């Protein structure tokens, strides 16, 4: 009985893995870390998060300024490389040299 259950679980796992592999091949899309469609989704979610941080007056000036700088850096990276993966990496890893106000920055009270 126990052997039958183990065989059933193994066969089920193999069938599910085969079905998932077949569906990826049918889509013609390779799922990797640098997949632009995946990066685009992640980038969109993170840029909206940073925009909410920037727009909310509940956050302090430093938080808002950091979000503003991250958004600017990610947009600049995307305009240079046209890659959502590069822009997402920039958005996540960016650390500004200073948070001092520059011309064109938003004024926080």
DSSP codes of every residue in 7-26: HHHHHHHHHHHHHHHHHHHH
CB 85 within 8 A of CB 68: no
Read off the pLDDT of each residue in 91-96 and give the average, rounded to a whole number.
Answer: 91
Taking the C-alpha atoms of residue 88 and residue 68, their distance in angstroms, rounded to an integer, is: 15
For residue 87, count CB atoms less than 10 angstroms from its CB and return exposed for 0-12, middle for 13-18, buried for 19 or more. buried
Res 23 pLDDT > 70: no
CB 77 within 8 A of CB 90: yes
Selection from 64, 44, 53 nearest residue 105 by Cα? 64
Question: Is pLDDT larger for residue 5 or for residue 83?
Answer: 83
Taking the C-alpha atoms of residue 33 and residue 51, their distance in angstroms, rounded to an integer, is: 25
pLDDT at 91: 94
CB 105 within 8 A of CB 61: no
């Amino acid at each position: 009985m126990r052997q039958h259950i183990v065989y059933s679980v193994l066969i089920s796992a193999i069938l599910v893995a085969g079905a998932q592999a077949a569906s990826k091949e049918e889509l013609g899309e390779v799922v990797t870390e640098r997949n632009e469609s995946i990066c685009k989704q992640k980038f969109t979610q993170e840029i909206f998060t940073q925009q909410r941080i920037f727009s909310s007056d509940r956050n302090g000036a430093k938080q808002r300024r950091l979000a503003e700088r991250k958004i600017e850096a990610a947009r600049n990276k995307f305009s240079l490389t046209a890659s959502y993966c590069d822009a997402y990496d920039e958005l996540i890893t960016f650390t500004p040299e200073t948070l001092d106000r520059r011309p064109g920055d938003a004024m926080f009270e």
